[in-house]
Structures are given as structure tokens and as C-alpha cells.
Chain A
Amino acid sequence: MPAVIEVRNLHKSYGDTVAVDDVSFAVEEGEIFGILGPNGAGKTTTVECIEGLRAADRGEISVLGLDPRRDRAELTQRLGVQLQDSQLPDQLRVAEALKLYSSFYREPADWLALMNDLGLAEKSKTRFAKLSGGQKQRVSIALALVGSPRVAVLDELTTGLDPQARRDTWELIDGVRSRGVTIVLVTHFMEEAERLCDRVALIDAGRVVAVDSPAGLAEQVQSEQRIQFRPSVPMDDSLLTSLPDVTSVIHRGDVVVVTGNNNALNAVTSVLARNQIVARQLRVEQASLEDAFVALTGRHGAAHQAAGQS
């Protein structure tokens, strides 16, 4: 199956500032593809080139077989877009906005059904300025979908939302995918990428550092697990150190910390069971996308700052 979006060696600079240095990736039909990176990594510029809002300096982009600049008129019919920091007129009501935007498209979706699906029915007569942040984002998603697009680009969807609104929005995106819409999701928020994305392109300083599933990225940087527990009876370390999957065993007070490869948990629990030792407060730590991010970009501060502000 041909890729829905293909980006090859994209380069874009503004004056002396290189925003996107060399970005390549392909988005497959039906997936949620994440573009993840710290602020200023070039994520938004990359998707603005995909949307045809900006002309690339170099490189090729194909969206549904179309050139975003040359075939703009056709692209706007088929690509749904949600922009970062874009608003509607303050006095425009939710239903009016959807009705208006649906009149732009050749084959619009039923805006009324869409409004109900996105949980906006009660707000249909509310003016845009009076909506909460989460509701505004839902309207924004509805407008991105009202043209029945096959692909939707969503930029910094949950930035500025409270945790509950963010989780609600994530559920929505899952729902959108189940309609068969391919989604490109721009985010600097690890948990969001981990929760939603099938695959992630990690972008840093205008370059793609890695493309993989969130779990795959995590595995790339750390193939070990750390297992912590409080044994019900004192135990001999040699029970564990003799296991081939275990690399080290240390004690912290009465807590035992075991490190080993991906099979270590299996091996440790079966040894404990055989010796009738109960592992209390068992915790297993695996590398997360955030660890991968830090390891691959070497930017601990940026990642935390990003997560903290969103």
C-alpha cells in the first residue's frame, strides 16, 4: 500500500534560522503518526509544509499523491487541518461554524451528526468565545473533519488543557481513527504520543532522530528491566544471581532490586514461586518513551520543561 503522506529530505529556513534541516518519513494509511520533539524542533514548520501553508526550500512532499503547493485546491478538499493557536470569530456559534465550514467542501460530512458525535450538541448555540479550552479544541477537531478528509493533521491538540480535558480529547482521537481517518499528531507531550500513536517520528533540531513505535523507541535505548520487591521471608541472593537473565541484585533496606534483560521478570517470579517466597510491593520499571527521548536527543531539560508546561 502506498504511503498516505511521504516527506523526503525536507529543508526549510527562515533567514539564517534553519527550522527544518533534513526531515523524511512516511505515514501509512489508517495509523496515528506522531511527530514528537521539544519546542522549536521544527515540528510545526514540517506540518505547515505538508498543509501547503509554507513552501519548502528543498525536498519533496506528497500527500495522497498530491503536491501540497501545486495541487493546493485539491489538497484542501481532502486534508483536514487543526492549527495551533487558531481561533474562530468570538461571536460565532458552534453550529454556525460547522454549517459554514461544511459549505466549503465538495463532499461534506453531516455536520449535525458530527457535532453530536463530538459531544457538542449542548453547546450548539454557544458562542466560540464562551467555550472552555477543551470545548474549543473539540470544535477545532470537528472543523478538521467536516470535509470528510482521509487524512487529518492535528497540531498541539492538548496544549493548555487540564488533565481531564486532555484525556477526553485522547478518547476522541481514538474515535476518529476508528472512522478510518489517518492522523498526523504533532506533540511535545510524551504521554500523549505513548497513549495514542502507532508510530512516532522523533524530531530534534530540524532532523528526524528516529522513527518507530513508542515501545520500539523505548526498547532502542534500554533493553533492561528493573524489578523491585519486598520478599516475605529473608532470601539468599544466589537464588537470583545464578539466573542467566539477571545481571545484578542489590538490597535497599529490605527491598531487593534486580536488574536484568526482558526475560528477567519471568525468571525471577518463577524462582520466587518455587521457593514459596511472596514478592510484596512488586514493581517493574521499563524504559519509557521519555527515556528514549532523553537518550536520543540528549535534552533532559527540554523534555521536562515541555511536559511541565503542557
Chain B
Amino acid sequence: MSAVTEMPVPIPPAAARHGSALGRLTLTELKLMGRERSRFFVRLAVPLVLLVIFGAIPFYTQKRASLDGYTLLDAYVPILIAYALAMLALTSLPMVLAGYREQGVLRRLQTTPAGPVRVLVAQFVAYAAVIALMVLLILAVARVGYGVVFPRQVAGFIVAAVLGAVAVLSIGLLIAAASPSAQTAQSIGMILLFPMMFFAGLFFPIPVMPSFLRHLSHATPLGATVQALQDAWLGHWPHPLQLITMAAWAVGCAVAAALLFRWE
């Protein structure tokens, strides 16, 4: 400890600032995500693995007259995109944030000029970046591997994907706000993921659902997202009702999360 007792007086100031606080926080969050290898990369891999499995089954890759010449796989890609959004936003984000609160990370940030709100924004930005990367990856694999065409209404696709992502991220924030611990947050996320994916048509295509389930599906965040993505794929601008549904989920859950959120 001799080095300690010979401390210079006073502390030397930093030669240069190390970037903005938000930029550093976002970079740090991305790095930390990468370090949770087993948890994180499994989540990223699931939609891609499903894509490869569906793509390997000829039943899914036959062009069908009943689908206007599209394949079943074409119809599945938007569902897998919705799955990628939900996986990250519902199971990963709430667990990390609730863990930060549990460990006092957020409380510690409260005593710095950065403040804990910045870490929430940083998480949001970091997840949005990973989600964007995932969507591009799914599109690329589907295109190169299985000849799935790119969405024809590109602007509509981007609007639908962004709104869908914001909606599920808001739900993720609400789960984090309502959970006392990381463990609970993860359980709630997993419990919500599968019914939400059911309504997105992962197990059972939306058009063949009984009518009351179909209507229910359109009102769920992921059901609306998949509908909007599929519309954009076929070259239509997404139906306003679906965009409004996603926006309503996004705003409603974000407000509820802000009201419920505790830093400690």
C-alpha cells in the first residue's frame, strides 16, 4: 500500500474528456451485452435457427397460388422478425434493468451528474441497435439462403419495424418497472413472450385463426406488428389501425413504466 500513501496532491485533472456520457453509457451497455454470451447469443440465434429449419422444409418454400405466388416462408419471415424484437425486448432488457436496480447500479448513478435516466436511454438505444442488426441479418439470410424477396414497401416496412420495436421495448421497460428482482423480470418476460408470439402467428398463421382470435391478434402489439410488416412486404402501406395499435401500446406502456419505476 506504499503507493497509496504517496498519492499526488491534488488528483491530476484528465487531459481530455472521454466522449459524451450517453455515448459512453451506450457503448458500455453494448459491450456488456456481448459479454453475457451464453444468454445473449442464444436469444439472437433462435429466430435464425427457426428460419434455417423452415427454409430446409420444401413444404415452406413452394410457391403457392393460394398465397398469390408467395411461399409460406415469405409469410414466416415477418413473424420471425417480430420474434427477434420480442425476444430481446421482453426477456433481455427487463432482466438487465431490474438487475441494475437490485444491485444498486441505478442508485449509484443517481449520485452522479449522468443520472439514471441516461442509463435507461442508453439501454433503449443499445437494444434498438441490436434489433436493427438482427432484422437486417434475418432479411439477408432469408434473401441469400431461400430467395425470400425484400419488402416491396420499404418505408412502410421501416415504420412498422420501428413502431413494433418501440412497442415491445416499452413493454420491456414496464416489466422492469413492475418487477422487484431480475429473476421475476425474466420470468414475467418469458411468460408473456409465448402468448404474444402465438398471437403473432408463430405457431398458427393469423389468417386461419378463428375470427375472435384473429381480432384479438390484431389488438396485440406483435399481432399488429406482423400484420403491418406483411402488408409492407406485399407492397402496401400498413393499415393505419395497426400503426395506431402499436403506437398505443408503446405510449401506454412507457407512461405506465415511468409512473411505476423506482430507482431503488
Whether the Cβ atoms of B12 and A104 lie closer than 8 Å is: no
- A76 contacts partner chain B, Cβ-Cβ < 8 Å: yes
B-facing mask of A134-155, CB < 8 A → 1, else 0? 0000000001010110000000
Whether the Cβ atoms of A100 and B113 lie closer than 8 Å is: no
Residues of A with C-beta under 8 A to B105:
86-89
Residues of A with C-beta under 8 A to B32:
89, 91-92
Interface size class of A (residues with CB under 8 A): 35 or more
State how many angstroms separate the Cβ of A120 from the closest Cβ of chain B: 10
- B24 contacts partner chain A, Cβ-Cβ < 8 Å: yes
- B1 contacts partner chain A, Cβ-Cβ < 8 Å: yes
Stretch of B13-21, B159-167, B194-202 lying at the A interface: B13-21
Q: How far is the CA of A73 from the CA of B112 in the complex (A)?
A: 8
Residues of A with C-beta under 8 A to B9:
178-180
Q: How far is the CA of A86 from the CA of B109 in the complex (A)?
A: 10
- A247 contacts partner chain B, Cβ-Cβ < 8 Å: no
- A96 contacts partner chain B, Cβ-Cβ < 8 Å: yes
- A69 contacts partner chain B, Cβ-Cβ < 8 Å: no
Whether the Cβ atoms of A179 and B11 lie closer than 8 Å is: yes
Q: How far is the CA of A92 from the CA of B29 in the complex (A)?
A: 9
Residues of B with C-beta under 8 A to A102:
14, 18
Whether the Cβ atoms of B14 and A91 lie closer than 8 Å is: no
- Given A53-B110, A87-B105, A89-B100, the answer on whether A109 and B4 have CB atoms closer than 8 Å is no
- Given A53-B111, A76-B113, A91-B32, the answer on whether A100 and B11 have CB atoms closer than 8 Å is no
Chain B: residues with CB nearer than 8 A to chain A? 1, 3-15, 17-21, 23-25, 28, 31-32, 35-36, 100, 103-105, 107-108, 110-115
Additional pairs, 6, CB under 8 Å, beyond known A86-B108, A102-B18, A114-B11 = A77-B113, A79-B111, A92-B32, A103-B21, A117-B11, A148-B13
